[in-house]
Amino acid sequence: MSNNKISGIVILAGAGPGDPDLITLKLQDKLKMADVIIVDRLVNPVIIQQNARKEALIVQVGKQGYNDASILQKDITDLIIHHALSGKMVLRLKGGDVAFFSNVLDELIALKKFNIPFEIIPGITAASGASAYAGIPLTARGISQGVLFKQFSPGNSFTPEEWNHLATTTDTLVFYMASRNILELVTGLLLYAKKSIRPIAVIGQATTIHQQIYISTLKDAFADFVGKEFGSPSLVIIGEVVHLHTHFNWFATQKPGSVFNELIKQSIPQ
């Protein structure tokens, strides 16, 4: 790719956790203007259907853990640069917030390299959406004064000091990408935990009509969660604030299914 003068622009935006009503007004405006919309798997298709202009090119660039059909980040970045250098307004749309456990840094570096102007539009991250729709405040006076956001997937390993801190802190723990390895996570925490009855919630398909919530404790997780497959995406919340769910749960639904696209192997159009 050359570094020629360009007239395009890239919008890096978060589409929220699933409920299409949770997108920002600014994102709604950009969806109506964009020439090319490059969409992650965890973006509710209704957001595109309701807001994107009919002439826009919609490119699905699915990424999913443990799935070989995931499109490489390099290919996604090349696609963004290609359309921007063609003078297009490119909207890179990610699930949740644009910068929470995403590859936005790779895209930003490429945009700077090619002198492509860009904007960043925040979105409601999965942690905020899941906790709100489960009636679990992430912080609460006298219960939890802080929150730790972590990723836990195969290959992640914490040092003994990190495990000890996670197991003993009174802060709320929020783990992204951890539901498939929930028992491995629980095992690590139990090695250092002073309270094995610390509550744990797994929230799947948060903020959608398919939301499901599973409540347990560290000591009971093996009995409650063994063999269970949680829908994707799922978020794990650990801490005393989980007890608040029984008092303040307001969004009750157990409808099976998913609003998100199934990830299938595909080539991305240029």
Between 182-190 and 160-168, two packed helices, what is the crossing angle to 10 degrees? 90
For residue 95, report the phi and psi dihedrals to the nearest 5 degrees.
-70, 150
Please enumerate in sequence order all residues whose Cβ is within 8 A of that of 161, keeping only pairs 6 or more positions apart, or say none. none
Yes or no: say if 59 and 268 are a contact pair by the CB < 8 Å rule.
yes
**Among residues 127, 84, 75, 85, which one has the least CA distance to residue 106?**
75
Yes or no: say if 99 and 19 are a contact pair by the CB < 8 Å rule.
no
**Which residue numbers are catalytic?**
40, 63
Rounded to whole angstroms, the Cα distance separating 218 from 200 reads: 7
Please enumerate in sequence order all residues whose Cβ is within 8 A of that of 151, keeping only pairs 6 or more positions apart, or say none. 101, 175, 176, 177, 178
Yes or no: say if 216 and 190 are a contact pair by the CB < 8 Å rule.
no
Yes or no: say if 244 and 225 are a contact pair by the CB < 8 Å rule.
no
Which CA distances in Å does 141 have to 10, 171, 239?
Answer: 41, 11, 13
